[in-house]
């Protein structure tokens, strides 16, 4: 199977290494594409062990890549707001597509993808690695067993700490037109999990949100009123807890600081800038086709990082908590390791609550990435009883909750999803879920 990757920032490495190393006996990386020649060169050298044996193309040469290299599948890891351009062009050139989440950021771009897929019949895979985390798969297994009966409601809280959360406010993600805001860029993972766990999709969405922390007023309160436009050479950097020192991180320096002269992309912009357009505090309420409801909260300046989930059912409750980072102390993140960082509790009505042994795995994202990559790049992988692979349909439904929530925040009204889609000329099929 021949692959090409467009977008050679930090996220593409997982796919590049899987194709050219882990599963190189059955796959071939035939091309790399990016707007930045330095990042292209770094990636090509990493593949060919010091030489440039991989064909590289500037972003403007993407059609030439498709014509000359004829990849079977194009992997898309460019910024979110550009996904649709490469997905559509690849499909119309006869390629299948594998794309990072979110599939895209708004309904006009979604319609372009759905229309092209309907015209070409090509396969689109959205890489939702969270489905493959053993602990999240375990939740699906328990729900599939019917242990808590019919699921009536879900409470889902996601906490980003002041290192990870802040990072979205210094990159291109800080502009809603480029990322869809955190309810699309980040929460697409979470809304996809809820869709998958419930085997259902949202019918009504309402939301509230604000930028409460990453604001110029907070810089004033923290004594950082004289901050510069970026961390590099900022006059108050030494006393700012939110500083990103690109010079001190060899990988970031090489990938971004040393390459910014070619495209002007600044990786370390100030998190307190006035022109940021995304929210840092959001709450979403949704009703699902199955009848279940969802209460969802995302905070991007929490003192710790992780998640808390509770499923309410007619026979009992299922709870899951994962502490990824205990907190930030003296500028260092205290990451949680080991099984004690995750707990899953099953409480059947009339019985004592049972603390379950949490499924574990090795590798990035709690063991998710190696499992997902196996299913993506190994044609001999066993059938997946949990239905974790994600198509363009899954990708569309996952972003719809966030896009509808953005609309609700704009209007103050509940968004009825079916009407919302119809108004935008979108026909989105339901799917047969594994339940």
First to last CA, the chain: 32
Q: Which of 100, 70, 88, 138 is nearest to 7 (CA)?
A: 100
Task: List all residues 6 or more positions away from 233 whose beta carbon is below 8 Å from its beta carbon.
Answer: none
What pLDDT score does 429 carry?
81
pLDDT per residue as tens digits for the range 263-290? 999 999 999 999 999 999 999 999 999 9
Predicted local distance difference test score (pLDDT) of residue 370: 93
User: Is the CATH number 2.130.10.10 carried by domain 2-126?
Assistant: no
pLDDT 10s per residue in the chain (435 long)? 999 999 999 899 999 999 999 999 999 999 999 999 999 999 999 986 544 579 999 999 999 999 999 999 999 999 999 999 999 999 999 999 999 999 999 999 999 999 999 999 999 999 999 999 999 999 999 999 999 999 999 999 999 999 999 999 999 999 999 999 999 999 999 999 999 999 999 999 999 999 999 999 999 999 999 999 999 999 999 999 999 999 999 999 999 999 999 999 999 999 999 999 999 999 999 999 999 999 999 999 999 999 999 999 999 999 999 999 998 876 778 888 766 799 999 999 999 999 999 999 888 888 899 999 999 999 888 899 999 999 999 999 999 999 999 999 999 999 999 999 999 999 998 788 988
Architecture of the structural domain at 130-213+277-362+390-423: 2-Layer Sandwich (3.30)
Residue partners of 163: CB distance under 8 A and separation at least 6: 325, 328, 333
Contact 404, 107 (CB under 8 A): no
Report the candidate in 303, 257, 48 with the shortest Cα–Cα distance to residue 164: 303
DSSP 382: P
Domain boundaries, the chain: 2-126, 130-213+277-362+390-423, 216-263
Task: Report the pLDDT value the prediction gives residue 223, as an integer from 0 to 100.
Answer: 96
pTM for this one?
0.96
- The confidence score (pLDDT) of residue 339 equals 65
| φ, ψ (nearest 5 deg) of residue 384 | -100, 110
């Amino acid at each position: 199977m021949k692959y090409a990757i467009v977008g050679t920032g930090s996220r593409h490495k997982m796919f590049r290494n899987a194709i050219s190393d882990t599963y190189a006996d059955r796959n071939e990386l035939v091309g790399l594409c990016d707007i930045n020649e330095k990042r292209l060169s770094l990636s090509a050298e990493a593949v060919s062990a010091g030489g440039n044996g991989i064909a590289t193309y500037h972003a403007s040469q993407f059609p030439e890549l498709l014509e000359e290299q004829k990849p079977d599948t194009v992997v898309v890891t460019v910024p979110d707001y550009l996904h649709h351009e490469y997905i559509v062009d690849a499909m119309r050139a006869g390629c299948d597509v594998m794309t990072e989440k979110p599939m895209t950021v708004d309904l006009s771009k979604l319609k372009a993808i759905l229309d092209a897929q309907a015209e070409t019949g090509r396969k689109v895979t959205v890489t939702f690695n969270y489905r493959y985390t053993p602990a999240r798969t375990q939740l699906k297994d328990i729900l599939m067993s019917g242990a808590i009966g019919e699921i009536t409601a879900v409470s889902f809280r996601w906490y980003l700490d002041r290192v990870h959360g802040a990072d979205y406010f210094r990159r291109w993600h800080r502009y809603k037109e480029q990322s869809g805001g955190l309810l699309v860029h980040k929460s697409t993972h979470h809304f996809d999990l809820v869709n998958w766990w419930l085997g259902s999709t949202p019918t009504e969405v309402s939301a509230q949100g604000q930028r409460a922390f990453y604001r110029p007023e907070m810089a004033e309160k923290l004594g950082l009123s004289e901050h510069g436009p970026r961390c590099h050479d900022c006059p108050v950097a030494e006393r700012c807890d939110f500083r990103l020192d690109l010079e001190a991180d060899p990988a970031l320096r090489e990938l971004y600081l040393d390459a910014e002269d070619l495209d002007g992309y600044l990786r370390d912009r100030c998190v307190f800038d006035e022109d940021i357009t995304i929210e840092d505090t959001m709450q979403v309420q949704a009703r699902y086709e199955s009848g279940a409801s969802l209460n969802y909260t995302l905070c991007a300046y929490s003192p710790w990082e992780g998640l808390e989930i509770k499923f309410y059912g007619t026979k009992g409750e299922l709870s899951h908590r994962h502490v990824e980072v205990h907190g930030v102390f003296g500028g260092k993140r205290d990451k949680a390791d080991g099984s004690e960082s995750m707990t899953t509790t099953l409480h059947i009505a009339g019985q004592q609550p049972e603390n379950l042994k949490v499924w574990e795995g090795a590798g990035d994202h709690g063991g998710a990435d190696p499992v997902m990559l196996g299913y993506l790049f190994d044609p001999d992988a066993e059938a997946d009883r949990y239905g974790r692979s994600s198509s363009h349909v899954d990708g569309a439904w996952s972003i719809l909750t966030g896009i509808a929530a953005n609309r609700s925040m704009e209007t103050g009204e509940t968004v009825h999803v079916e009407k919302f889609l119809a108004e935008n000329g979108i026909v989105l099929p339901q799917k047969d879920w594994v339940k």
